[in-house]
Chain A
Amino acid sequence: MADMSPEKTKMPEQEPEVRNKNFLEVAKGYTPELAKREAGRCLGCKNPRCVEGCPVSVPIPEFIGHIQKDDMEGAYRALSRANALPAVCGRVCPQENQCEGKCVRGIKGESVGIGRLERFVADWALENNVANTDREPDNGHRVAVIGSGPAGLTCAGELARKGYRVTVFEAFHVAGGVLSYGIPEFRLPKSIVEKEVDKLRSLGVDIELNTVIGKVLSIDELFEMGYEAVFIGSGAGLPQFMKIPGESLVGVFSANEYLTRINLMKAYKPDSPTPIFESKKVAVLGGGNVAMDAARCAKRMGADVHIVYRRGEAELPARAEEVHHAKEEGIHFDLLCNPVMIEGDEKGRVRSMKVIRMELGEPDASGRRRPIPIEGSEFEMEVDTVIVAIGTSPNPLIRSTTPGLETNKWGCITTNEDGSTSREGVFAGGDASTGAATVILAMGAGKTAARSIDEYLKNK
């Protein structure tokens, strides 16, 4: 008989006033007892709607069923069969819009804490060195994967399990893509990312770091080297700016730069050689997950932080939990506010930002109500740092060096539903083809492309 408690079992967290001064993980994860209690709330639906909501189709009732029976290894096998990076997804997926959003328990109360359970099982496997090394025998075919972010790693893992010889090419000195440079330590510890990547290595995936495809090797050269198919998961690309006066002043950073310095380059450690700007008052422009991450990092570095977003609370694109956490940690939200210009001092450093208040009009093309400036409502915000987190535009390195690879008017690689592109044998997925989206959507695309690559090479 299922536990009919209407609320999710709470997950222990660091207190807001403690955690906003450190980079340790905010949410501490379930204990075995808490996990078992939460697993007890799952009804084990015959027709599980949660699975439909998952971009990588994790067999959710099956893995939760194993937790109910104290069979952690069984739970992990079921989970890892479908998801190459479960410890990551359990932490960063927007579950409320996916699996948990479809859970029948959510109709009369809170849904089952699927994400928390996924994290619990994945962490259990990492702690106990349990790996799922099931793979088909080596089939001798070679596949190149460009980018070691969520799309690339998932595609690589899936193909390795099917017996392919996979090489992942990464531009940075560390694997993981946005999981390493973007998402902060307190939300996704880098040791977790490293362990998940190591699991893929143990499946036989080879990762070549410091290799920029489009520069040191072209896609055509990869084919000449004997790779029979290529997956492009090179990520979102160049940070966008507001195109307002003052954006090149000292003290204006893209969220990518700010987060990369802190996460990948470890500027949060006091003895790090990586320079980081010493900010007193920070404005973060944007309302997505990246904006929340940048704001919460700046807070932990000791600054007073304001999120400046041109629409209202209901329109914030960030995960609900991130907004909630940010508020708890003392980050101010200046909603319905749009920056007009950034002003500098005589040394070219940010001194203040002029902002105009907005009101919401009729819905626009995105379905959200369009923000309209309120005339005469400008005001001055005194800040020394502005972090711009309003999205990215695609990176030109691959499209400009790959003849015949079609891109759309924004420069994103055009893909069919199965991940194939205009070039034979070349597949793509994740932010490189969709523009900036989520980790799990990129993983879903990586998985789809792996299936298509398998079919393509089998029929070749």
Chain B
Amino acid sequence: MSVRRVMGTEVEYGISVQGVPTANPMVASSQVVNAYASATVRARRARWDFEEESPLRDARGFDMSRQVADPTQLTDEDLGLANVILTNGARLYVDHAHPEYSTPEVVSPLDVVRWDKAGEQVMLDAARLAQQLPGNPSIVLYKNNTDNKGASYGAHENYLMRRSTPFADIVRHLTPFFVSRQVFCGAGRVGRGQDGREQGYQISQRADFFEVEVGLETTLKRPIINTRDEPHADPEKYRRLHVIIGDANLSEISTYLKVGTTALVLAMIEERFISRDLAVDTPVASLRAVSHDPTLQQTITLSDGRRLTGVQLQMEYLDLAKKYVEDRLGADADEQTLDVLARWEDVLDRLERDPMSLADQLDWVAKLKLLEQYRSRDGLDWDDAKLQLIDYQYSDVRPEKGLYHRLVKAGRIQRLLDDADVERAMTEPPEQTRAYFRGRCLEKYAAHVAAASWDSVIFDLPGRESLQRVPTMDPLRGSRAHVGDLIDRCDTAEALVAALTR
């Protein structure tokens, strides 16, 4: 196994209406999503099909009763909020009080980056289109995770895993990895504590919002390992690991390493390769302690008594992953797996020697460098509003205002993709998964697609009384190799459904 796996991200964007601080964020989020839908989705708008969703299903094997569930955990009821499927196979919708973009299912870390960055551009276009609505609301979106006043919103990752892997193994081996991976995929934050009551910089946007080690919740008592278990695939064979601990990254390299290294660790867990016990004594406290020390000197106590820094703990995983790839793949290792390993090693090495040398690669370092330059030029304390502003504005999705975008424009941040790659991914689906089938159907037969979801496309065909549901339970079927020719050949939805059900 390698970095290849069915995976994707889902990001909630911060939202504000300029000049109207009292604006209802649900309304503004709906305006953003609807404006994009109206402008880009032809003919009828396919509904989201909720049939297979079960957000209260727990990976540990029991269902949470609806009576005891917090209302914010219910996502499967169509609340009438905007919800649209795009021709790239992604889902654009309103979740609580934020617009959210879920990438289509992809199979490589670089493709996660590609369709995740496409999501930023979709959000940018959506906000611009919303400005043409009655009242001309000027809506600005932020790819960040906190307002520094107590609220946090998520940037989740999803990884398809073998059902046969014991969940306890996942918890044991993944927790120390999640406590420490922020050293390269943190997005950086001005302020400490959920409401930012303490001054100072920290590595992660999200660390202070995690309160327990394992659990089902995502909106309160957030767990390092989330147990939500909706595989959107055959539940006998697969689970979907729903990762809620990550930060929303702007840097392509941060996102690439975040999902690439995680995919490698999951492969090692599935194949029972991890023989060392890297368990951490106090994961929640350690997560925060690592985040609160941008000098990276803070140590974590392992259950075996060793004290390692976050970077050193990551080096343990890197060492295992190198041996694993050598052992299992040897000369057959694919390019991206080797690239992830090489970059992971280089980044950890630089974090040990000279973290600031990564200001052109990692979000938290790029942001810190900018903040330090302002502090030194203008003599600012960490509680200065200007520094807080810089933190927020780093994630502004507008190329003319967003500071990440200004740094890229000035050649100060490295990229893995170019603008044309990302623009293509706004409309074109990935080719290796069922997202290809979903996306192509929406592109070619929009007028006859009544609804769609991760695991189905539902057609409303002329002359047929009932809707025709095409299940797509296997994430790796419905790829271009499977259905590309068929879709090319079928000029109508009727012809396609007839060919599929023959």
The answer to whether A binds B is no
